């Protein structure tokens, strides 16, 4: 049940939002092996003037993608590939762009959806 938060330093655009959701969902499913129906993607926009590096606004579009996954469900090489592939995809989508991708692992007993922790969800499905 990954939660993908994407912050883009770009002008809000419905088509860009839809394409970002599609590519992040696809990469999360294909690279990290997550279930499509349980993958949530949130896209937010930040005005370009509010995105800076070294104290100066970026001259190009920026992005930050943070995906939360359950600890221990992905191998090191899968996470490294995800970081690489998301960077490539967003650079292609946004044109000249620079950004960050983080894979954040959370303990199964510390997060969940609809009031059920990931640990409980796993146990219910394992027993069923």
Q: List domains and CATH numbers for the chain.
A: 3-127 (3.30.429.10)
Per DSSP, what are the bridge partners of residue 103?
A: 67
Residue 83 and residue 78: Cα distance in Å, rounded? 9
Inter-residue contact 108 to 117 (CB < 8 Å): yes
What's the pLDDT tens digit per position in 60-104?
A: 889 999 999 999 999 999 999 999 999 999 999 999 888 999 999
- The burial of 25, by beta-carbon neighbours within 10 Å (0-12 exposed, 13-18 middle, 19 or more buried), is given as middle
Closest among 16, 18, 21, 27 to 5, alpha carbons compared: 21
- For the entire predicted model, the pTM comes to 0.90
What is the SS3 assignment for 63? Answer: strand
């Amino acid at each position: 049940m990954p939660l993908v938060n994407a912050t883009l330093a770009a002008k809000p655009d419905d088509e860009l939002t839809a394409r970002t959701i599609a590519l992040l969902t696809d990469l999360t499913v294909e690279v990290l092996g997550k279930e499509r129906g349980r993958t949530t993607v949130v896209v937010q926009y930040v005005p370009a003037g509010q995105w800076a590096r070294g104290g100066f606004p970026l001259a190009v579009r920026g992005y930050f993608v943070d995906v939360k996954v359950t600890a221990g469900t992905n191998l090191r090489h899968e996470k490294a590939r995800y970081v690489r592939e998301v960077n490539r995809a967003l650079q292609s989508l946004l044109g000249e762009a620079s950004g960050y991708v983080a894979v954040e692992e959370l303990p199964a007993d510390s997060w969940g959806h609809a009031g059920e922790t990931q640990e409980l969800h796993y146990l219910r499905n394992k027993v069923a």
